[in-house]
Chains A and B, each alone.
Chain A
Amino acid sequence: MSRWRYFLKRVALSVPVLFSVMTFLFIMLRLGPLSPVAARLGQNASGADVTRLREQLGLNDPLWQQYIDYVRDLMLFQGESWVVRAGQPIPEAIASVVPVTLWLGLWAIMLPLFIGIPLGFYAGLRPNTAGDYVASVSGILWLSMPNFWLAVMALAILRQADSGLFNWYTLGPNTQSIIGNPDFGFLTTTQLLGVIPVPTSFDVMAFATDIKLILPAALILGSASMAAELRIGRTAVLETVNSNYVEMAKAKGLKGRTIVWKHIFRNALVPLIPIITNEAFILIGGSVIIEYVFNLNGIGRLYFDALVQGDLPLAGSLVFLFTLVIIFLNIVQDLLYTIIDPRVSYQQ
């Protein structure tokens, strides 16, 4: 099988997966133990309200009709929120909170990428030194501490305004509160030709405030993947350092810097690809908790509220959105593999 055919096969396989996710959601939300009517009116509702709502939700239609309607609504992101944003169309509700999560996710990816991987490579290039031990042990410790606990502790420490060491409120740009939503006012844009947004001015202070608001949350959200990248990066470097082509390069008399950058670094990146793409799982799952603790109005928080308040259509759409992101990232991962490392993809 050529590797492009393998790749196409993987892409094709994601279609039935997508449909089976929708079917699963349909079964759980429509036919599951919690009926939509009960979710909306409460367990003990009865009488005319129930009959009207059943009619309105289309629960009296034949099952296949309900299923098709459900799938169509999901695919087009139609439907309305019931409780959390009562009456608001779902795409609007999601769009209004997306920037916060993207901002959080961006930093939560950047930090581990630029801290975890360099630390891992540092540890791998100097195995069994004090620096290696410190990096490895702190990575393992970091991985064992639950995110939500770290978040709670971080908040407690940052809130101690005058601890003597530092004062988070006045460090850098002044903020009234530790937690809060970034407002993204740092970039003013105009629409060139009516469509293309062009930045006209850039407010450094507002930018710094936004970063400051998100930094603790992002650092904790990225912590698990940072530790994972550190561990995998260290092993990968150790393996590459001991491989024949590095010996060969040394024998040819290449400079240490060239060996590290051209031969070790590039090859050690390969096993890191799945770790980096798998960060999406951690970011999406973790954002629910982090946004809850740091009181950020992002997608994760919206999902949590939708669940707790029984907003079934919103919760279902969000799960579907998460799944879309994950499936898309899996395809990207396969594509990267197909391009970078032809050995990996089509073995099985």
Chain B
Amino acid sequence: MSDIGLDTDEEFVEQSLRDRIRENPRPALVWLAGAFVLVALEFGRILDGLLAFGAAGKFLFDGLASVPSALQGNVESALAPISTDTVGTLLGALVHDAIALAMLFVVAIFLQGYLPRRLDEVLGREMGRRRRIYAERLLLTGLLAVAAVLLAYTPVGAIVNGEISAWVRVVEILSDLPTLTSREVIPNMGHRTPDGGWDGTFLGLSPAWAWAIRFALVWVYAFAAFGWTWKGFNVYRSYYREADWTPRDDTIRRFKSQYWGLFGLFVVFGFVVLAAFAPAISPVGIQEHVYEPYDNEFEYLNDDGQIETVTHGQANLYSRSNGQNTVSPMSYDDFDRWMPLGTTPTGQSMLTHLSYGARTSLVIALTAVGLGVIIAVTLSLLTAYYKGLLDVLVVITSDTIISVPVLVLVMLLAVIFQESNHWLAEPMDGGLLLALILGFAYWPGMWRSIRGPSLQVSEEEWVDAAKTYGQTPRNIMRKHMAPYVLSYIMIYASLLLGGIIITVSALSFLGLGISEPTPEWGRLISDGRQFIATDSRHVSTISGIAIALVVLGFNALGDGIRDAIDPEADVGDVSAGGGG
């Protein structure tokens, strides 16, 4: 597309995607219109998801922001026996500021690449490359520190805070908009009327039918969204991508011809939909049903033909599946609530537990794997590039973690943090803590699996070439080494997901993982285990089959991805197992 002989620089500039779309806007617009319809139908739910992400981000930020003062406290209390108060306070303050500045410096390292102008241009004088980079980082750190001080100690912080929360409120209000699959549009909680009909449900249908319509709509929507995404990729590929062919095309072609991998994709897709649409799929809302059962009432027709109100909590007491009393799958409980998968031993809807439990597992597994991948890739790039002492240190660290069996290590850490009521154990009733622990326990395995490939790539000629051209180590690792390593880590990570789901459920089964009331599949099995020999066998059976199916799906998907990316790749047999 470019002739080397031409002398103007513009000829070499790649046409950006925006330019390419501007030239031929029709396919993109058609696709965008479809995407717009899909988003508009579920606008509220998508905003809900964004809010959840925002909350997670805020939690992370708050946690990091509390690190300096926590360390300050530690230092002060450690010094208390051996020094005077003033010295202790002074040293504590010093530690606080040093840690805060160090953290800001790390942020500055990442931001430095995005500076609009280089420092030597601004100052108008020559400076060494290394000196310029460090000067820029220090300057940025200073700016960040000033901003942080302004935010923390002046009214500016309050103003910014108010502004943010005002916008969050706007998003919150918008997120309450009814969506196609929401409970308000197709309600399935209603009561019988004395004359035999139903009141309060969608079009006066029976709750079972109202729920079935909503359930079907969820899947129609999910498949439409999936198809539309795939269509979007194809539109990009055939109209807007500059290259006619990339290796990725071959990967996809290989994947499409594997039934085993496709089966895995299908199961995992179903799992993700179950998790993402949990509020729509569950027949009763989780907030009123599980978290605040005694604060929420609903109406039902009692045996005397009268409409009565009862709280969910009270109704649950009569709907328990505990051997003597069973609400089996595909039936109503005594209060005319539709229970597609029956009830749990506490009388709550199994499907509500199953779908929100899928959410718990998915969030934990993805967070843990994401964390592990970040640590493993960063370390593998660093050790492969610098080698030497760093490599030995990481080998020893990873060997240390590996030589404790995962389940034993995770149990130890989980108990220590839970028993001490650590603030990390709060979110998701221990879910976040578990994700962090699993990420910590699983990164050495990932690092090992990509150590060979990353050592290989660091010896390649193009890395040498980049060094002689004077590219920074960070850019060499990012541009020349990381892409090669990433395909390996993708294979390993996808094979690992099933194992993590089993580990999480095993811990919850033992009572050490996710505690009540947050739903989790392993705890369902544990709750139902004494009733397997009775009519209430569905509790343990359904949740166990669900786990086995999802793990099977992740294993199949992992195998499929491996065969699609690199049929020869030897990443060992990591899938599942692991003692769960």
A residues lining the B interface (CB < 8 Å): 13-14, 16-17, 20-21, 24, 28-29, 32-35, 38-39, 43, 140-141, 143-149, 152-153, 155-156, 159-160, 224-225, 227-228, 231-232, 274-275, 280-286, 288-289, 292, 303-304, 307-308, 310, 315, 319, 322-323, 326-327, 330, 348
Tell whether, in the assembled complex, residue A20 and residue B397 are in contact, meaning their CB atoms are under 8 Å apart.
Answer: yes
Tell whether, in the assembled complex, residue A284 and residue B403 are in contact, meaning their CB atoms are under 8 Å apart.
Answer: no
Within 8 Å CB of B399, what residues of A? 13-14, 17
CA distance A140 to B413 in the complex (A): 31
Tell whether, in the assembled complex, residue A282 and residue B577 are in contact, meaning their CB atoms are under 8 Å apart.
Answer: yes
Given A14-B399, A144-B549, 16 more contacts at CB 8 Å?
A13-B395, A21-B403, A21-B404, A32-B416, A34-B416, A43-B420, A143-B577, A145-B548, A146-B548, A146-B580, A152-B529, A153-B544, A281-B578, A285-B579, A289-B580, A307-B512
Tell whether, in the assembled complex, residue B400 and residue A20 are in contact, meaning their CB atoms are under 8 Å apart.
Answer: yes
Tell whether, in the assembled complex, residue B408 and residue A322 are in contact, meaning their CB atoms are under 8 Å apart.
Answer: yes
A sample of 11 inter-chain contacts (CB < 8 A) reads A13-B395, A35-B420, A43-B420, A141-B548, A143-B577, A144-B549, A146-B547, A159-B533, A160-B533, A288-B510, A308-B512
Q: Which of A152, A286, A315 contacts B540 (CB 8 A)?
A: A152
Within 8 Å CB of A152, what residues of B? 525, 529, 532, 540, 544
B residues lining the A interface (CB < 8 Å): 395-397, 399-400, 403-409, 411-413, 415-417, 419-422, 452, 455, 498, 502, 505-506, 509-512, 522, 525, 529, 532-533, 537, 540-541, 544, 547-549, 551-552, 555, 572-573, 575-580
Which residue of the partner chain B has the closest CB to A316?
Answer: B412
Given contacts A146-B544, A149-B544, A156-B533, contact A303 B408 (CB under 8 A): yes
Tell whether, in the assembled complex, residue B506 and residue A147 are in contact, meaning their CB atoms are under 8 Å apart.
Answer: yes
Given contacts A20-B397, A143-B555, A143-B577, contact A323 B403 (CB under 8 A): yes
Q: Which of B395, B419, B580 contacts A148 (CB 8 A)?
A: B580
Tell whether, in the assembled complex, residue A148 and residue B525 are in contact, meaning their CB atoms are under 8 Å apart.
Answer: yes
Which residue of the partner chain A has the closest CB to B573?
Answer: A228
Tell whether, in the assembled complex, residue A140 and residue B403 are in contact, meaning their CB atoms are under 8 Å apart.
Answer: no
CA distance A147 to B396 in the complex (A): 31
Q: Which of A274, A308, A348 contacts B452 (CB 8 A)?
A: A348
CA distance A33 to B425 in the complex (A): 11
Residue of B400, B498, B541, B549 with highest tally of chain A CB at under 10 A: B400
CA distance A310 to B417 in the complex (A): 12
Q: Which of B396, B404, B547 contacts A322 (CB 8 A)?
A: B404
Tell whether, in the assembled complex, residue B580 and residue A330 are in contact, meaning their CB atoms are under 8 Å apart.
Answer: no
Within 8 Å CB of B511, what residues of A? 308
Within 8 Å CB of B413, what residues of A? 28
Tell whether, in the assembled complex, residue A224 and residue B579 are in contact, meaning their CB atoms are under 8 Å apart.
Answer: yes
Tell whether, in the assembled complex, residue A315 and residue B405 are in contact, meaning their CB atoms are under 8 Å apart.
Answer: no
Within 8 Å CB of A228, what residues of B? 573, 577
Tell whether, in the assembled complex, residue A148 and residue B506 are in contact, meaning their CB atoms are under 8 Å apart.
Answer: yes
Q: Across chains A and B, which 10 residue pairs bring their CB atoms closest together, nearest first?
A: A285-B579, A285-B407, A224-B577, A286-B579, A156-B532, A34-B420, A149-B544, A144-B552, A33-B420, A285-B405
CA distance A307 to B289 in the complex (A): 33
CA distance A99 to B101 in the complex (A): 55
Q: Which of A29, A149, A159 contacts B548 (CB 8 A)?
A: A149
Which residue of the partner chain B has the closest CB to A63?
Answer: B78
Within 8 Å CB of B540, what residues of A? 149, 152-153
Tell whether, in the assembled complex, residue A17 and residue B506 are in contact, meaning their CB atoms are under 8 Å apart.
Answer: no
Q: Majority SS of interface residues in chain A?
A: helix
Within 8 Å CB of A32, what residues of B? 416, 420
Tell whether, in the assembled complex, residue B502 and residue A232 are in contact, meaning their CB atoms are under 8 Å apart.
Answer: no
Which residue of the partner chain B has the closest CB to A282?
Answer: B579
Within 8 Å CB of B415, what residues of A? 307-308, 310, 315
Tell whether, in the assembled complex, residue B396 and residue A16 are in contact, meaning their CB atoms are under 8 Å apart.
Answer: yes
CA distance A39 to B418 in the complex (A): 11
CA distance A17 to B406 in the complex (A): 16
Within 8 Å CB of B400, what residues of A? 17, 20-21, 24
Q: How far is the CB of A258 from chain B (nearest CB, A)?
A: 30
CA distance A179 to B540 in the complex (A): 20
Residue of B399, B413, B505, B555 with highest tally of chain A CB at under 10 A: B399
CA distance A308 to B537 in the complex (A): 28
Within 8 Å CB of B396, what residues of A? 13, 16-17, 20
Q: How far is the CB of A164 from chain B (nearest CB, A)?
A: 15
Which residue of the partner chain B has the closest CB to A324?
Answer: B403
Which residue of the partner chain A has the closest CB to B550?
Answer: A144
Within 8 Å CB of B555, what residues of A? 140, 143-144
Which residue of the partner chain A has the closest CB to B511?
Answer: A308
Tell whether, in the assembled complex, residue A282 and residue B525 are in contact, meaning their CB atoms are under 8 Å apart.
Answer: no
Tell whether, in the assembled complex, residue A28 and residue B416 are in contact, meaning their CB atoms are under 8 Å apart.
Answer: yes
Tell whether, in the assembled complex, residue B576 and residue A143 are in contact, meaning their CB atoms are under 8 Å apart.
Answer: yes
Q: Which of A14, A147, A288 contacts B408 (CB 8 A)?
A: A288
Which residue of the partner chain B has the closest CB to A39?
Answer: B419
CA distance A144 to B408 in the complex (A): 20
Given contacts A143-B576, A289-B580, A310-B419, contact A148 B405 (CB under 8 A): no
Within 8 Å CB of B417, what residues of A? 33-34
Tell whether, in the assembled complex, residue B544 and residue A145 are in contact, meaning their CB atoms are under 8 Å apart.
Answer: yes
CA distance A21 to B402 in the complex (A): 10
CA distance A343 to B338 in the complex (A): 63
Residue of B395, B452, B506 with highest tally of chain A CB at under 10 A: B506
Within 8 Å CB of A33, what residues of B? 416-417, 420, 422
Q: Which of A29, A38, A289, A330 contacts B509 (CB 8 A)?
A: A289
Tell whether, in the assembled complex, residue B510 and residue A144 are in contact, meaning their CB atoms are under 8 Å apart.
Answer: no
CA distance A34 to B547 in the complex (A): 33
CA distance A143 to B541 in the complex (A): 17
Which residue of the partner chain B has the closest CB to A32?
Answer: B416
Residue of B407, B455, B522, B533 with highest tally of chain A CB at under 10 A: B407
Within 8 Å CB of B405, what residues of A? 280-281, 284-285, 322, 326
Q: How far is the CB of B393 from chain A (nearest CB, A)?
A: 10
CA distance A288 to B547 in the complex (A): 20
Which residue of the partner chain B has the closest CB to A235?
Answer: B573
Within 8 Å CB of A292, what residues of B? 510
CA distance A178 to B31 in the complex (A): 62
CA distance A228 to B404 in the complex (A): 20
CA distance A155 to B529 in the complex (A): 10
Within 8 Å CB of A231, what residues of B? 573
CA distance A330 to B403 in the complex (A): 9
Which residue of the partner chain B has the closest CB to A20?
Answer: B400
CA distance A32 to B405 in the complex (A): 20
Residue of A227, A275, A292, A323 with highest tally of chain B CB at under 10 A: A323
Tell whether, in the assembled complex, residue A144 and residue B576 are in contact, meaning their CB atoms are under 8 Å apart.
Answer: yes
Q: How far is the CB of B290 from chain A (nearest CB, A)?
A: 23
Q: How far is the CB of B408 from chain A (nearest CB, A)?
A: 6
